[in-house]
């Protein structure tokens, strides 16, 4: 599968809507690559970390205190066994996304086909961010529990496979974004994981996405070691180009190699903060154009950059006001149009 058009728009996942149908209709009518909305303002279970934790053995959800943890004092073997059985059988439904945790996903399945999209996008939390953010009863990240680490990776693969299976009923062109906000901490004392281990975990999920006939993407909304992402098998690197494009330009050789093997850059050039209000379509387009010029000066062919680029907001929009989201989407659409028309 290839993305043939230049500078198509898509979003990260979360939106501030309380009405799932309204969210889906907004997305399908305003984005080139529509996606199912995560709706954290609807309730705690729509929080990204909680949403994908459904099915973890020993999971405890405290909605009043707004926290989750895995109780490892319980026997987790049966729950882990269920994950592996479903994984090996290719049974994605039994541990896929449920309506209780992902209403926007089901509303998207119901309505998106009526818009005849060329592409559809789903998302799953990445294994690093998931494993670090979900803790056991003692507050220790479950990523450091070997049995749970392998189980959570398989569970995320199941949830990605489930989305692809359902999305193929709408469009043959499916993209799954892996959300990895915690990669901004890679290399710090906060994240004591080897580089190779991070790549192996990401590639395991990416390989599952590829095996189901979809494209994969990694979204990291802060700065990170972009050479690490380029070293994985991922198809699309999505980054906050408004605040951190300079960081990406530090790795020209790795980015060139990534693009030459068929990769795409998804430029998060529209800020998902009040900063967007002071920006115009022209200032944002100029910013995008200037960043592309910088990479070209570092010996990355311009044609490669222009033909292998998408445009997105810089991050998710679940905590914003609906008015601000409307401004962001409008400016995203206008900048995309400018890029398609003017960048040569």
d(C-alpha 175, C-alpha 141), whole Å: 29
**Pairing label, strands 215-220, 174-179:** parallel
Q: Are 316 and 35 in contact (CB under 8 A)?
A: no
Which pLDDT value is given to residue 190? 59
Are residues 192 and 128 in contact, defined by beta-carbon separation less than 8 angstroms?
A: no
pLDDT digits (tens, 9 = 90+) for 191-239: 678 999 999 999 999 999 999 999 999 999 889 999 999 999 999 999 9
Give which of 319, 328, 271, 326 is closest to 26, Cα–Cα. Answer: 326
Please tell me the chain's helix, strand, coil percentages from 3-state DSSP, rounded to the nearest 5.
50, 15, 35
C-beta of residue 142 within 8 angstroms of C-beta of residue 134:
yes
Q: What 8-state DSSP symbol labels residue 32?
A: S
Among 95, 84, 91, which Cα is nearest to 124's?
A: 95
Tell me if residue 161 falls in helix, strand or coil: helix
- 274, exposed or middle or buried, with CB in 10 Å at 0-12, 13-18, 19+? exposed
Compute mean pLDDT per 10 residues along the chain, 344 residues long, and list them: 95 96 98 98 96 98 96 97 97 97 98 98 98 97 96 99 99 98 75 89 99 98 93 98 94 98 98 97 98 98 98 97 98 98 96
- Residues whose CB is less than 8 angstroms from the CB of residue 44 and which lie 6 or more positions away in sequence, other chains included: 50, 61, 63, 66
Tokens 């070209």 correspond to 296
Residues 6+ positions from 149 with CB-CB distance below 8 Å:
127, 131, 142, 143
d(CA 78, CA 67): 24
| 204 Cβ contact partners less than 8 Å away, ≥ 6 residues apart | 127, 153, 157
252, HSE (Cβ side, Cα atoms, 13 Å): 12
């Amino acid at each position: 599968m290839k993305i043939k058009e230049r500078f198509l728009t898509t979003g990260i996942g979360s939106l501030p809507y309380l009405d799932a149908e309204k969210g889906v209709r907004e997305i399908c009518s305003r984005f080139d690559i529509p996606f199912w909305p995560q709706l954290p303002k609807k309730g705690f279970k729509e929080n990204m970390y909680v949403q994908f934790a459904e099915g973890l053995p020993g999971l405890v959800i405290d909605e009043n205190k707004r926290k989750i943890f895995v109780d490892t004092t319980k026997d987790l073997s049966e729950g882990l066994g269920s994950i592996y059985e479903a994984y090996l059988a290719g049974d994605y439904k039994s541990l896929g996304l449920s309506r209780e945790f992902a209403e926007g996903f089901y509303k998207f399945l119901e309505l998106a086909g009526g818009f005849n999209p060329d592409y559809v996008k789903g998302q799953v939390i990445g294994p690093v961010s998931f494993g670090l953010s979900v803790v056991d009863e003692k507050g220790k990240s479950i990523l450091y529990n070997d049995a749970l680490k392998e189980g959570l990776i398989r569970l995320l693969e199941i949830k990605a496979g489930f989305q692809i299976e359902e999305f193929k009923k709408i469009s043959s062109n499916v993209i799954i974004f892996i959300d990895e906000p915690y990669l901004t901490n890679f290399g710090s004392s906060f994240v004591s994981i080897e580089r190779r281990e991070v790549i192996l975990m990401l590639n395991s999920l990416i390989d599952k996405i590829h095996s189901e006939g979809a494209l994969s993407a990694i979204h990291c909304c802060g700065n990170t070691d972009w050479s690490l992402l380029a070293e994985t098998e991922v198809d699309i690197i999505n980054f906050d180009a408004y605040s951190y494009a300079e960081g990406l330009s530090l790795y020209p050789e790795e980015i060139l190699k990534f693009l030459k093997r068929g990769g795409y850059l998804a430029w998060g050039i529209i800020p998902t903060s009040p900063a967007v209000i002071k920006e115009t379509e022209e200032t944002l387009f100029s910013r995008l154009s200037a960043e592309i010029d910088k990479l070209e000066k570092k010996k990355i062919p311009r044609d490669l950059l222009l033909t292998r680029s998408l445009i997105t907001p810089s991050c998710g929009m679940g905590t914003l006001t609906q008015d601000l989201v409307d401004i962001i989407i409008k400016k995203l659409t206008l900048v995309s149009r400018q890029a398609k028309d003017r960048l040569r």
